Chain A
Amino acid sequence: MIGFAALAVLAGVLVGLSRQINGRLALSTSAMESSFWNHLIGLIFITLAAMAFGGLFAGEPAASPWWAYLGGPVGVIFIAAGSWLIARIGAAQTAMLIIAGQMISGVVLDIILGAPGNPLARSIGVALILAGMWVTRPTRNRD
């Protein structure tokens, strides 16, 4: 259990590490080029891993709805945005604002898709996140 918890924390560290490295590549090239290399190198890595472990086409992948295949292009914009932002507002700000956007849009998506949820907990959570964003809101001549 402790081992799996450590792996879950490590996964988060790897998200930050990836953004940091991609951000450095974008400093020398461009945000879009860093997003391209992120996807191509990741593709090669996953292909090799899938060849080693097998089962890439297991299940019924052909049965999935067409829109499920749109994650790639969306990810291109997401990685490019992260690479562009991290050199400008720092890793912590980038991470916190992305998490804020993910959480709030996640709640909105859940409501749209009709996923069951606790309205009170959702409201308190969203309110706290908005308060956190308010604290670092862009203002001129601050500090």
Chain B
Amino acid sequence: MTHAADAPRFYHFAAAFGAGGLLSLMVLFNGTLAAYGSLFFASWVPHLTGSVAALALLLFLRPKRAATVRPPLWTYLGGVSGALTVMLTSATMNTALALSGTIALGLAGQVLFSLFADIRGLFGLPQKMPGTRDYLSLALITAGSLIIIFFGGAA
């Protein structure tokens, strides 16, 4: 991959920010399921209904395949990693870490991995060297998130 990722355009910006909003809704919906059923159930249901919804959208939208060559088999395994995440967070949430510690440490893991992934161009995605602005933005967003996680909850 020679083409480095660009600085985000406005629609990228809006899409990513909007996706974060969707994530909040998912946490609310799936968390409510977990309050009534098991943790497995709270992850199993959205994966089941999500599979059906994605299949329906695929049949309806019929998006073009970007390449005629079949991608490597390991590229189909992203869902395993995602499903494992749910089980891990469910396990740590009930320890002394609680929800805030689980979220904060998960955030740290995600940020560090994504920086490493960009720098190395992991798994065949474009390589991207983070600049000063990226690190500054990252520090500000992380600091703001930690303040909300640890101090924003209790009155």
Contact = CB atoms under 8 A, between A and B. Distances in A.
Interface string A1-45: 100110111111111111111111111111111111111111101
Interface in A55-71: 55-65, 67-71
Top 9 nearest A-B pairs (CB, nearest first) are A101-B20, A12-B109, A72-B49, A128-B144, A61-B37, A132-B140, A42-B79, A97-B16, A41-B79
A41 B51 CA distance: 9
Name the prevailing secondary structure of the B interface residues: helix
Contacts, number: 469
19 contacts: A5-B92, A14-B88, A24-B75, A24-B124, A32-B57, A32-B61, A35-B54, A49-B40, A56-B40, A64-B32, A79-B82, A85-B16, A89-B16, A92-B117, A96-B137, A104-B17, A117-B152, A121-B152, A125-B147
A61 B38 CA distance: 8
B10 A89 contact: no
A126 B144 contact: yes
A14 B81 contact: yes
